[in-house]
Structure 1
Amino acid sequence: MASSGHDLPLSINDPSSGLPPGFPRITPSSPLRDFGPDSMDYERCAALHNELLTKVVRALGGEMPSAPLSWWEARVPPDEVANALHPSLIEFLKRALDEDVMPTMGFLFVFLGALKFPEGFFRDEESYSIYDETGRFLKLYESSHFRLGDDEGLLFDQETMKASFIEDWNDTRMVTSHEWSWMPLEVILDSYLQMVDEGKVEAVSKEQAALLDRDPKIGVVEPWVIHQYTKIDVERAATAFKRLTDAIEFRIAMQARDKDKPQPQPALMALPWHDPATYNADILPSSSFTHKFLCAISDTKVSFRFIAPGIGFPTIPEFAGQPITDFVTSPRRNFGKFPGDCPLRLFQIDTTEEDAARNGDGKHPMPRDRHLGLDNVAPGFYIDRVVQRRPQFWSNGCHLILPFAIGRRGYARKSNGEPFGLSDCDHLDENPKPRDARGDLYQAGMTNGITNSHSVTIDKVLDNWAERVEKGDWEVDEHGVKGGIEKFREADTEEHWREYWIPPSW
């Protein structure tokens, strides 16, 4: 697993070696186990399911019974259902405990209600089966209905033996048409426990849930609450930022040392968010992730401007000139309804009339398409809505909006493997044609297969940029990272696309 704690684990060990240390959790010492293409790790999946269920029972004030029934024992599926289930899936259901052990009404997780009743496995099959493959897909877990409408749930593919959480029922047919976002069931269940480990999700009492339900920024699906961000999220983002700036400064210092003549020590400059006076409370509420992240890096001083090719720190006036600054007289479309209800441009991309002409628009130096819910949004690196409200639960998400579009060559990939620029209609094609897009780089795809949809978290992009500098993929001079914004066109090339791809995660 990556050091960030929530990249999907990809390493595999030999199941014949017995249960590794730390089982059933997926860790470097207890990686995924490969049982072949026609099977699943039903033992681990059941153990993870049971661990989640135990947390729910205790949060609701109960204790696990000494001899709880498995789902198979409690539900006794009829022969027509049992005969349609893969043997490995049956073994999972014979080990996964039935949710009736809960003392009161509760959900297995924020996104999952419970394992379906036998008669519900294939009930909606007609809505998402492809090529008339009857019995291939089944709804294994019901959604918790955290959105209060159009929720789907967790589907299982009995051909690939993989699973995917689908947020919206309307997306189901598109998701089942491709391999994107499908993964081992144990990865999904372990990801939910990771979210609990990090405090992203908490199991709370009924009284606590009622109190927290008054806050529109917190999602409550009893006995679970999900937060917009955690202390770990802030620390992780600040650490990634420091890793990146340190890597650039180190290479600047090395280059100066290698020159024949002694070089003067470069002057250090404070970043625009060093002064709290630059923080507009309407744009950056003190309780927001972005405010806490900027405070955490506010004392950083640098000798360079460019933190990535063509992407630099803004001046104080540039930082103040956000896409939305007026929350009183002219809310922008659906933005500006409450403090923090806006995107925030964190890093600047300089564009000129010459750049615009080269990218096919001589009249308008800024792209004229729509991103982040805004028309003609300037290129730059953005935090998505600074303050989210349920049912959106990630306020540390970010977007890089390029001054040009990439993706049509077909090499660029989103985290789930999806090509760039696809519309909903394209997802229904067996082999959709990729298209150019300005804002798809680093993003997860239509669904990440684990949670509700959200933008990639900022720490992952900053860590990716630091890795590019550390490995020498990006060169550095006294001004910072070299190459200009055109360097990002490499993301759609056969040689370099992996350098700009972020592995799937929750």
Structure 2
Amino acid sequence: MSTQGEADASPLDAVAHLLVTPENPPRDIDGMDSERCIALHNAIFLHGWINSGRAAEDFDAQSQTWFGFYGEGDSERFHPSLRAFLHEARVLLPSDYNTPKFFYHVSGLNESADLCMWTNDPEIWDEQDVDRFPTLYATYPTFAGKCDGLVYDQHTHRAIMHFDITDDLLLYPEQPWQKLESVLSVWIEMIQREKVIALHDSVDQDQGWPHDAERDLLDVERLDGEQTPWTMAPWSAIDLKQTLEVWQMAVEMIEQKMGLNGDGSTQTITSNNNTPDDGLIHAVALDLAEIPDGFAHNFLRRARRPRFTFIAPGLRCPSVEDIAIQPFIESRQQNPEDLTNPEPEKVSPILLFRADAIVSSTEGLNGWYQGPYEHTRDFPSGLYLDPCNRGHDMPFEDGCRLILPFEFDRFEDEWAKQSDGSRAEGRDTLYQSGKNPYNYPHAVQLQAFLENVYHNVQSGYWNVDAHGVAGGVEKWKEADSQDHWAQYWVELGPGRYW
């Protein structure tokens, strides 16, 4: 791959036409789309190389192809299309601990000795499948006690992130295996959105990535050298901007359906307000409620006020009074351990859209209800922004979770689904991803939930009345029906959500 004279060009811009999107899906071919995957792989590697402060023209000299480095000895194990990929995909010669790694989730293409680490398990694979599932990219101990990585199926030519070798690895469609070009496209999207960031070598671990108020960028810390030069931001300016835009669309659609604009038009009100008085909640009220500076604070301060009460069935738009009563912020304040060991990088769950029904039991909550929050009882149902540890390995400050006052019973209709097609059980897994084939597990982003609101109102599936979206919180039970489950489901994938 020639890089001479391209120091000022963006490697990711050069492969923009190859990214998988709803309009540019994977090609239907026999095997891996090697040329597409080679270009996407090498562009990610070169982007990290350049952004860490290295010269583009040095990349070819200090890297090799996989076969160039490891040799042809095991090539008979590989499908011809995978072999073609390994003949052109670059690896870096390991020089020291700070050698740039491939990406945030994976260090690079696996070493030759580890590439086919999935040996035959008679309970899962047939004898002829011993070389079927190479772990193509290796992940880090940061993510798992017994590391695996991106596993590739040489029969279906699909891949899936599988962080721990001890976790179940099930064949498609039990798990949502994806084309390799789709996985690489998602990783490039994360870089383009400044969710995943390659830091310059001059940024030391204590300094972080400088805060930029104009672009809504937080200080982003450098992680331990294991993932050099990559780090992850809790949220980005694009996350915020697009969430505000979808909120604006949903609000305008509801108001239009309510007939609030006599001529059938919608109001033209910017969704990127700059003064506290323009938004849902005044900045002073947010500070009094101890909503920390970050995604929630910015969203609530800038999202335009609607002229109705209910943004979704039974879920109220936030008011000053509602925002002031945050059950899990209060629980942290009352927790003696948290008072003696404060961790300011931890953001508590924030109740965004409140429902009147109260949740009085921890049953039916799938791992969300823990840590300093497990002592809270009798809290409101509704849509919460998930707790976020900004210093954690997978921070998503805009991740949200709908907590319902009833459970979906796993033994009844079984129509309510997560994005991977698995059962949405309990009270808090509706709209969630289940097995995420691209990323470490995290809560679905608020933008995806609001987009679902918009489409359900636009299509007329959700009715509106004088108070906004009608139906009450019981409406969500329709998610567990054969006729309506698809109205309560978020699709993950390139060009959408991940």
User: Do Structure 1 and Structure 2 share a fold, with TM-score over 0.5?
Assistant: yes
Helix, strand or coil at the partner of 1:350? strand
Q: 1:482 to 1:283 in 2, by over 3 A?
A: same
Q: 1:74 to 1:217 in 2, by over 3 A?
A: closer
Q: 1:281 to 1:152 in 2, by over 3 A?
A: farther
Structure-2 separation of matches of 1:460 and 1:120: 37
1:70 aligned onto 2:65 = yes
Structure-2 separation of matches of 1:143 and 1:196: 18
1:114 aligned onto 2:111 = no
Q: Which runs of 5+ in 2 are unaligned?
A: 1-13, 210-218, 265-276
The question of whether the paired residues in 2 share the 8 Å contact of 1:216 and 1:390 is answered with no
Residue type of the alignment partner of 2:86: L
Question: Superposed, which structure 2 residues align to 1:28-427 within 5 Å?
Answer: 30-36=24-30, 39-58=31-50, 59-62=52-55, 63-65=58-60, 69-78=64-73, 81-100=74-93, 105-125=99-119, 130-132=124-126, 133-147=129-143, 149-171=145-167, 173-175=168-170, 179-212=174-207, 219=223, 221-253=227-259, 273-280=280-287, 283-286=290-293, 288-297=294-303, 300-326=304-330, 327-330=332-335, 337-339=342-344, 341-351=347-357, 366-369=360-363, 370=365, 371-373=368-370, 374-375=373-374, 376=377, 377-406=379-408, 408=410, 409-421=413-425
Residue type of the alignment partner of 1:492: D
Structure-1 separation of matches of 2:161 and 2:428: 24
Could you give the per-residue CA deviations for residues 197-242 of structure 1, whole angstroms, max 9, x where no partner exists? 1111222222215344597866462111211110011111111111
Give, in angstroms, the shift of residue 176 of structure 1: 5.3
The question of whether the paired residues in 2 share the 8 Å contact of 1:398 and 1:458 is answered with yes
Residue type of the alignment partner of 1:45: C
Give, in angstroms, the shift of residue 55 of structure 1: 1.5
Helix, strand or coil at the partner of 1:400? strand
Which range moved further: 84-93 or 46-55? 84-93
Give, in angstroms, the shift of residue 107 of structure 1: 0.7
Give the alignment partner of residue 453 of structure 2, picking from 465, 469, 477.
465
The question of whether the paired residues in 2 share the 8 Å contact of 1:335 and 1:341 is answered with no
Residue matched to 2:464:
476
Q: 1:83 to 1:21 in 2, by over 3 A?
A: closer
Helix, strand or coil at the partner of 1:45? helix
Helix, strand or coil at the partner of 2:138? strand
Give the alignment partner of residue 441 of structure 1, picking from 430, 451, 468.
430
Structure-1 separation of matches of 2:161 and 2:403: 28
Give, in angstroms, the shift of residue 451 of structure 1: 1.4
Residue matched to 1:7:
none
> TM-score normalised to the size of structure 1?
0.78
Structure-1 separation of matches of 2:94 and 2:125: 39
Percent identical pairs in the alignment equals 27
The question of whether the paired residues in 1 share the 8 Å contact of 2:115 and 2:135 is answered with yes
Residue type of the alignment partner of 1:416: D
Structure-1 separation of matches of 2:69 and 2:38: 15
Structure-1 separation of matches of 2:423 and 2:284: 42
Equivalent pairs counted in the alignment come to 440
The question of whether the paired residues in 2 share the 8 Å contact of 1:314 and 1:347 is answered with yes
Residue matched to 2:269:
none
Give, in angstroms, the shift of residue 383 of structure 1: 0.3
Q: 1:56 to 1:420 in 2, by over 3 A?
A: same
Give the alignment partner of residue 19 of structure 2, picking from 16, 25, 42.
25
Could you give the per-residue CA deviations for residues 369-426 of structure 1, whole angstroms, max 9, x where no partner exists? 24443454431110011553311321110000011112631222111222223xxxxx
Residue type of the alignment partner of 1:91: A
Structure-2 separation of matches of 1:57 and 1:414: 37
Residue type of the alignment partner of 1:52: I
Helix, strand or coil at the partner of 1:206? coil
Helix, strand or coil at the partner of 1:460? helix
Residue matched to 2:213:
none
The question of whether the paired residues in 2 share the 8 Å contact of 1:21 and 1:30 is answered with no
Structure-1 separation of matches of 2:400 and 2:350: 9
Give, in angstroms, the shift of residue 454 of structure 1: 0.5
Residue type of the alignment partner of 1:236: Q
Root-mean-square deviation (CA), in Å?
3.2
Helix, strand or coil at the partner of 1:166? strand
Helix, strand or coil at the partner of 2:297? helix
Structure-1 separation of matches of 2:102 and 2:181: 15
Q: Which runs of 5+ in 1 are unaligned?
A: 1-19, 259-269, 353-364, 422-436
Helix, strand or coil at the partner of 2:406? coil
The question of whether the paired residues in 2 share the 8 Å contact of 1:129 and 1:176 is answered with no
Residue type of the alignment partner of 2:461: D
The question of whether the paired residues in 1 share the 8 Å contact of 2:292 and 2:347 is answered with no
Could you give the per-residue CA deviations for residues 345-370 of structure 1, whole angstroms, max 9, x where no partner exists? 01111127xxxxxxxxxxxx644424
